[in-house]
Amino acid sequence: MKEIDLANNIKEILSTTEQRKLRYASELNWIERWQKLWASDRIRVGVIGVTSSGKSTLINALLGDNLLSVAVRPSSSQLVSCSYAKKRSAVVYFLNGDKKNINDTAELKNTIIQYSDENYNKRNQKQVAQLELSTPKFDLGEDVLLVDSPGLDASGYEIHEKLTLETLLPTVDIVIFVTTVKSEVDKKMKQTLDTIAKYNCPLMIVQNMLDAVRPSVDGKKSASTVAKERMNRVLLTVDQSAIKNKNEVKVAQISAINAMNYRSKTNPSEEEKKAFIASRYENFVTGVKELIKTKRPEIEDQRVKTILEHFYELIQQENERTENLSISLPVDTSLNSIKYDISHALDDTYDAINSVILELQEMYNKYFPVNDTDTNDNQDNFFTRNFLNTFIPNKFKRNYEFDESDITEIKNTVKSFESKVAESVSIFSDKCAATIKKLKLPTRDLWSYNGMPRMPEVSVKTKIITKTKLVDKDGFWNMAKRFFDWGDKGWGKETVQYTESVIDNEATKESVRRYIQRVKNEYAKTLENWHANANSTVVSIQQEVDLRIAAIKEKEKQVLDANDWKQIRKDLEKCFKQYVGQARQKEKTTKTYVNKVTDIKDTTKLIKVQYKYVQLYDAAEKYLYAVQKSTFNYAMQIKQRENRPAIVISNSSDNLSDFLFRFYQIKKTDFENKQIYYLTDKLSVACAPTEIQLKSIFKDTRGLNVFLLINGLQFHTEFETSLRKKVQENLSDNDALFLTVQDFEVLANGNAISECLRSIRMEQCASNGLILISHNNPIYNISIIHAQTTDVKLKEETMFYNALTSKFPKLVNEVTKKRINNILRS
pLDDT of residue 287: 94
pLDDT attached to residue 185:
65
Instruction: Tell which wins on pLDDT, 389 or 9.
Output: 9
Burial of 624 (0-12, 13-18, 19+ CB in 10 A): middle
The percent of residues in the chain predicted with pLDDT above 90, rounded, is 18
Contact predicate 264/64, CB 8 Å: yes
Residue 169: closest CA among 202, 139, 138: 202
Residue 17: the pLDDT is 87
Mean pLDDT of 104-120: 78
Question: How is residue 154 annotated by DSSP?
Answer: B
Residues 6+ apart with CB under 8 A from 613: none
**Extended beta strands in 561-695, E state:** 646-650, 675-680, 683-687
The partner residues of 464 in beta bridges, in order of sequence, read 501
Residue with the larger pLDDT of the pair 721 and 253: 253
**Residue 129 to residue 112: CA distance in whole angstroms:** 14
Q: What pLDDT score does 176 carry?
A: 95
Q: Which residue has the higher pLDDT, 1 or 620?
A: 620
* 82-96, 200-214, 326-340, 696-710, range with the lowest pLDDT: 326-340
How does pLDDT run across 356-410, given as a tens digit for each residue?
A: 666 655 554 543 345 544 444 444 444 444 444 444 444 444 455 666 777 777 7
Q: Which of 708, 780, 788 is nearest to 740 (CA)?
A: 708
With a CB cutoff of 8 Å and minimum separation 6, the contacts of 496 are 468, 469, 470, 471
Q: Which long-range contacts (CB under 8 A, 24 or more apart) does 720-723 make?
A: 720/155, 720/651, 721/155, 721/156, 722/155, 723/649, 723/651, 723/688, 723/689
Q: Which of 348-352, 394-398, 478-482, 800-804 comes out lowest in average pLDDT? A: 394-398
Neighbouring C-alpha atoms within 13 Å toward the C-beta of 824 = 22
Question: What is the DSSP pairing of strand 174-180 with strand 144-148?
Answer: unpaired
Q: How confident is the model at residue 766 (pLDDT cuts 50, 70, 90)?
A: low
Q: Report the pLDDT value the prediction gives residue 381, as an integer from 0 to 100.
A: 45
Confidence (pLDDT) at 138: 95
pLDDT in tens, 282-316: 999 999 999 999 998 888 888 888 888 888 888 88
Alpha carbons 231 and 636: distance in angstroms, whole number: 38
pLDDT band at 585 (very low <50, low <70, confident <90, very high): low
Radius of gyration of the chain (CA): 32
787-801: per-residue pLDDT in tens?
Answer: 888 765 655 677 888
Q: pLDDT value at position 116?
A: 76
For position 534, what pLDDT does the model report?
Answer: 83
Strands 705-710 and 736-741: parallel
- The predicted model gives 749-764 an average pLDDT of 78
519-532 mean pLDDT? 71
Find the range with the poorest average confidence among 73-77, 311-315, 610-614, 670-674: 73-77
Q: How many CA atoms lie within 13 A of 555 on its CB side?
A: 25
Task: Please compute the mean of the pLDDT values over residues 490-498 and round it to a whole number.
Answer: 80
Whether residue 769 has pLDDT greater than 90: no
Predicted local confidence at residue 254, as pLDDT: 95
The pLDDT value given to residue 46? 92
Q: What is the mean pLDDT of the chain?
A: 79
The mean pLDDT value for 608-622 works out to: 73
Q: Quick one: what percent of the chain has pLDDT higher than 70? A: 79
Give the Cα-Cα-Cα angle 190, 717, 73 (nearest 5 degrees): 120
Most confident among 210-219, 256-265, 299-308, 365-374 (mean pLDDT): 256-265
> Distance (Å, rounded) from C-alpha 73 to C-alpha 157?
16
Q: How many CB atoms lie within 10 A of CB 184?
A: 21
Q: How confident is the model at residue 339 (pLDDT cuts 50, 70, 90)?
A: confident
SS3 498: strand
